[in-house]
Amino acid sequence: MSEHDFNTAGLKPWAGLKAPAAGERPDARILGVPMERGSLYRPGQAKAPAHLRKVSAIFAPVTERAERFDSVTVQDDGDLTLVDGDMGANVDAVADEIARTPAGTLPIVLGGDHTTVSPTLIAQQRRLNGRLSILYIDAHPDLNDVSRHTRWSNGCALRRGLEMGEIDPKKVTLLGCRDYDWEEVEYIRKTGITLIPAATAHGWTGNQLADEIGSRIGSDALHISLDIDSLDPSYAPGTGVPAAGGLTSRQLLDFLRQLRGVRLAGLDVDEVAPPLDYGHITSLAALKFIFEFLGMVKLGKTG
């Protein structure tokens, strides 16, 4: 172990949060998807689930606002075994596995590159019988039909999820975007996706995200897909395609907190690339978000 590694000897993952009693469903179910074939610029995301799980042991079940959440139960089902190839070769099996999450339990899916979101959205749409809205937090909209000569690049991830999951694009809110291919902008305008660029979010005060989403979500539950590159590279350098001008960690956590009145459906956290990271900054940012999300299980509505 180098001086840069955390000594987690004797500590339990996920802040020591317990599995549910036999026969009961967990509040959250964690699944790793160690996929990096969709990251055509710089891979490394396949190492994220195991690394996040290890570093999760240094946290305590207390939110940043000093609320205890040690009654939240977590079932970690480890990392899925993937077949050789990109997400296209794995999408059906991954979606089926995520869809096995019991009703009322929140899946927390650890990517992997952002193609992880495609099977996640397919599964969530199925689990919720279509009563699904999506908050997609990302520097990039991931709405290309083809990118880098493949339909299973992370630059196509949201597009594939919407198409294969038969999800109405009007139910999607993009937050934190700042790098686009023109094809993506046209798709956003044509389909009625709500776009909140990072530049707009920076100027927001109060509860504007909650107001924006709350006005449209109706009786849907909200799935959050977090691409860690939504954060500014100064807060999350360990990712494949960093983009200047991003959200701060503070803004991201405040946006999450605003959603505590919204019924949550689940979370996926993608594009953390431990080999590209410095001092675990990016993994720790992802974990902070995951733990604040877990803390909200007892604060907000879930299902």
Six-digit token pair at 190?
A: 């044509």
Does 232 engage in binding with Mn ion (CB under 5 A)? no
Amino acid type, 14? W
Scan residues 243-302 and list those touching Mn ion (CB under 5 A).
none
Does 179 engage in binding with Mn ion (CB under 5 A)? no
Q: Which is nearer to Mn ion, 107 or 240 (CB)?
A: 240
Shortest spacing between CB 54 and Mn ion, in angstroms: 24
Shortest spacing between CB 73 and Mn ion, in angstroms: 30
- Distance CA(108)–CA(79), nearest Å, equals 12
Task: Say if residue 245 is exposed, middle or buried (CB neighbours under 10 Å; 0-12, 13-18, 19+).
Answer: middle
Six-digit token pair at 258?
A: 């605003």
Does 29 engage in binding with Mn ion (CB under 5 A)? no
Shortest spacing between CB 227 and Mn ion, in angstroms: 4
Does 142 engage in binding with Mn ion (CB under 5 A)? yes
Does 114 engage in binding with Mn ion (CB under 5 A)? yes
Shortest spacing between CB 271 and Mn ion, in angstroms: 6
Does 227 engage in binding with Mn ion (CB under 5 A)? yes
C-alpha of 11 from chain center: 25
Does 138 engage in binding with Mn ion (CB under 5 A)? yes
Q: Return the closest-CA partner of residue 207 out of 261, 273, 144, 277.
A: 261
Contact (CB, 8 A) for 226 and 269: yes
CB within 8 Å of 94: residues ≥ 6 apart: 33, 80, 82, 87, 116, 119, 120, 123
Q: Return the closest-CA partner of residue 123 out of 89, 181, 167.
A: 167
Shortest spacing between CB 49 and Mn ion, in angstroms: 17
Q: Which is nearer to Mn ion, 63 or 154 (CB)?
A: 154
Q: How many residues bind to Mn ion according to rule CB under 5 A?
A: 4
Residue numbers of the site for Mn ion (CB under 5 A)?
114, 138, 142, 227
